[in-house]
Each structure stands twice: as C-alpha cells, then as structure tokens.
Amino acid sequence: MQNIYAHSLVDLLRGICNVPAALDTRVSGISIDSRKVQKGDVFIAIASDEAQLELYVAEAIERGANAVLRDGNTNCRIYEDKAAIEICLQGLRQSMGEIAARFFFRPSEEIKVIGVTGTNGKTSVANYLASYISQGPHKCGVMGTLGYGLLGEETEALVATGYTTPDVIEVHRHLANMRDAGAKFVVMEVSSHGLCQNRVDGVQFYGAVFTNLTRDHLDYHGSMSDYAQAKQKLFQNTSLAFAVLNRDDDLFSDFKAAVTPGTNITSYAVSSKAADVAVLTNELSSSGIHALIKASVGQVMIDSPLLGEFNLSNLLAVLAAATAMNDLESVESRVKKIKAVDGRMEVLRSVNQPTVVVDYAHTPDALENVLKTLAPLCSGSLRVIFGCGGDRDQGKRAEMARVAEALADDIVLSDDNPRGESPEAIIADILAGFAQPSKVEVIHERRMAIQKMLEKSVADDVILVAGKGHETWQEVKGQRHYFSDIETVRELISGAAVLPKALEEVIND
C-alpha cells in the first residue's frame, strides 16, 4: 500500500523560505504538473512564459491545490475563495530537490542509489546491474528509459515514465515507492539533461557508473566539452562511496579527476589490462560472450548469452560495481542469468525469413558497435534501416551515414521521430554523409520501409532496424502516434518471436 504523505507547509519549507504561521496549511501531495494536481497538493509552478505560468497556477488551484510555490520575490498571495495560498521563492528551481526529498522523507537516505551515466549503454548497464544485485540477498529497483520498478521473478512490468531521468519530483516519488516496496538498492539512469536541469537534486547517490562518451545531444550542450562536464556532475556528489569508470574511454582521466576526493574509484576496460576489472581472454560469438576476467578476488570466468564487445564492456561495468560493493559471491551464475533488455539487440525471425535485429542504436558509435557485432554472424547481406530524430543534434546525421555505408550492404533511410522538423530535411542531412547516396533507398513511412526490406531479403540475410528499440511511438509535429518496430516486425514476419536459442542457430537453421 502506498504511503500517504502529509506535511505542514511551514515545516516543509523551513530554512528554505519563511511562511507566516498564519498562512500555514497542510499539504498531502506534491506536483510539478498542473494537470495532475489533486486536492490538498502543493503545486510547484515552473514555466519560461509568464502567461503560461498563470494558466498553470489557475488550473492547479481549480483542481484543489492548497498551496502554490513559484519563483520570485513578491509577497504571498491568498486565494480566499479557493482556500489556497501562493508563496514566492527566489531560486525555486534550485530548491525543488530538497523540497521533494523532504516531502517523501528522504528515500535516497534509506536505499542505496547507484547512478549510471554515459552516451551509450546506460539502459543496459542499469538493468544488468539491477538484475545482478537482485539475485543477491537484497531487493533492487531500477529507474530509467524503460520505466521504474523492482526487478525479480515476482515483480510486475516496469512502470513507464516517458523519460530517461524524470523530473525531480517524480524521481523522489519513484524512489519512495520502491523504498516502500522493500528495495534496498536502486540503479537509475542519469542523463546529461537530467543533471543540467536539476532533476536529481536531493538524491544522495551511493555509487556512480560511467559507460562512455561519444557524440550526442550537441543540440543542447553545444560542445563535447560541455557535454562531458554535464555528465561529470554525477561524480561530484559528496555522498558517493564509489565511482566506476571506463578506462577504455578517451575521457577516463577527465572523469577520474572530476570524482569527489576520497571516493573509491574502480576502473574497467576491455582493451586495457591496467584496469581494476579487465579482460584477460575472451571469445565473442553468436552464442554470446565467454571471457576470463581479472577482478579483486582473482580470475573470474563469465559466460553470457549477450552479444558483442559493447555488451562485454557493459558486463565489466557491472562487475566493477560489484567489486566496489564487495558483492562478488556467485558472480559467474549471476552474470549468466543477466538477460538483454527490450529493444536492445532483440532478435526476431520466422521460418524461411531473414533474421531481424531491433536495436535502440541512434548515435554513430552505437550504430557502429551493433553493425560490427552482426557482420561476422551474417552469411548473406547485412542490411540496415535507420533515420535520425528531429530537433536534435544535426551534426551526427552525416556521421551515421558514413558508419552505415562502411559496414552495411544495403541501406534504407526512414523516419525516426521527426518531431517538428521536416522529414525530408532530416533525410537530406543524412544523405549528405554518403559517398554514394544514389545507392541508398529512402522510404519515409517506417512500416513500409521494414516491409520493403523484408521483401527483398532472403533467409541468410540479417536486417538491423535501428533507432527506436523499445519505443512505441513515432513523434510528428508534437503528436506521438503509436508505432513499434518490434510489433511491426513480428506482424510482418508471421509467427516471429524473440528466439531463446543462440543467434548463430537462428541464422543457420
């Protein structure tokens, strides 16, 4: 049963701003979204447009908010007809994390929260690490791109949030829900946007993991230097007991220097044996990963059904975190039970049909990793369908074209969340990166692109449908229309399912 929270507004804001005792009121909920306000809530009013802000405030009060907090230094306002008060607080955005932490009785002080950040691999590492921990004596939750909830055989599907890192109120609410459900650990993805926009303020991180840094989100950050500095904020949390860093990444030294002094640092690497957790020998095949790993307890042999060197790196991140937490009991069996997450190297095939792999790869580095993993496993043609998101980093479009042209035999460009941009303009930017654009087929409608690719493929071929992964929408002009790559592929190759056997068996049967 979910806890019912109730606070005196004076107590909730004590030390943050002074609320006159005569205006004190009880608040039983907290929200940053006026559409979700319930009777008795305190509504935190944030908007860049003053006129829009007034509309949000009016809606929240109409829905029964007892109090409104807004940025500014004017006097309190009393809505006598609605029995509500408005408090103006300078620096409200910077105080929201502390307010949320107080409201939910500081959940991150009762559970050990491990943040995972990086360009690629956040979702996989967060879910792999949560799976690893949950196989031990403690319940573990996860929060990120796929949703939030506890992991384990008896848990239900994750609850979708719509964001990699939700707003700061929801972050603390979800942590509190998982605490109340018995979690002792939570592994959460921490995006650069989330760090810059104060979405994890008030969270006391126990550990932090860095996966890698490659080009993405430069539309927001402006430069790779600013992007890196945003990620490094996670490692400056003074509550950290440990930090896990990828020694293979070019910015390893920069991230190491950014870690709060006194924090235990554990490094991992696929290519460098100088790392604390390193690969001694490895065999990567269509059956998965077989590797001998150097760790603090000595040598560890791991066997995993996961595919590719990038997943080997992801597993090393898990082992490095386990090393930092001194949690290496039954490590081999726990790693073996870690499964791929939805929309990440998801393999689908039907009889006499080509093998289709659906993956979230939407950056040049991720696309390169997946194509390089699939190439040696493909006896026919390696084909790829991809696009680029609208209103996002335009510079990566040509780079993704160059990657696809170098590694794939056949390429179809299709729409992938064009958002407010012209789909034709996005495709034109991608085409500009090809040396031979005439050999690239353009089919904007994504379902048609998948269908056409299937029609011209044979059973020995492998088709990578890249970019959307787990997503169940296509975003066009502010509207999300239902669309799933996975469901579309399953429907088009009748009887397809995610096959439990190794990819090599799928390709060669």
User: How far apart are the C-alpha atoms of 37 and 68, rounded to whole Å?
Assistant: 11
Residue 3: pLDDT above 80? Answer: no
Residue 152: pLDDT above 90? Answer: no
pLDDT in tens, 106-116: 999 999 999 99
Taking domain 346-508, whether its CATH number is 3.90.190.20 is answered by yes
For 245, the token pair is: 């860093």
Query: Residue 121: left (phi > 0), alpha (psi -120 to 50), or beta?
Result: left
Look at 147-151, 218-222, 345-349, 497-501 and tell me which has the smallest mean pLDDT.
497-501
The residue type of 170 is E
Q: Quote the percentage of the chain above a pLDDT of 90.
A: 72
Residue 45 CA, chain-centre distance (Å), reads 26
Q: How many CB atoms lie within 10 A of CB 236?
A: 13
Nearest to 362 by CA among 337, 384, 335: 384
Q: Start-end ranges of CATH 3.90.190.20 in the chain?
A: 346-508
pLDDT in tens, 18-54: 888 888 899 999 999 999 999 999 999 998 888 999 9
More confident residue, 214 or 127: 127
Q: What architecture is the 7-102 domain classified under in CATH? A: 3-Layer(aba) Sandwich (3.40)
User: How far apart are the C-alpha atoms of 114 and 132, rounded to whole Å?
Assistant: 13
End-to-end Cα distance, the chain: 49
Report helix angle 395-407 to 423-431, nearest 10. 60
User: How far apart are the C-alpha atoms of 375 and 507, rounded to whole Å?
Assistant: 12
Residue located via tokens 């609208």: 390
Query: How high is the pLDDT of residue 500?
Result: 36
User: How far apart are the C-alpha atoms of 149 and 143, rounded to whole Å?
Assistant: 7
pLDDT in tens, 184-234: 999 999 998 889 899 999 999 999 999 999 866 666 667 878 888 989 999
pLDDT in tens, 284-302: 887 889 999 999 888 999 9
Q: What is the mean pLDDT of the chain?
A: 90
Homologous superfamily of domain range 106-336 = Mur-like, catalytic domain (3.40.1190.10)
pLDDT in tens, 359-401: 999 999 999 999 999 998 899 999 999 999 999 989 999 999 9
Query: How high is the pLDDT of residue 394?
Result: 93
pLDDT in tens, 66-108: 999 998 876 677 876 667 898 988 889 999 999 999 999 999 9
The pTM is what? 0.84
Q: Start-end ranges of CATH 3.40.1190.10 in the chain?
A: 106-336
Query: How high is the pLDDT of residue 219?
Result: 65
For 259, the token pair is: 């870690």
Q: Start-end ranges of CATH 3.40.1390.10 in the chain?
A: 7-102
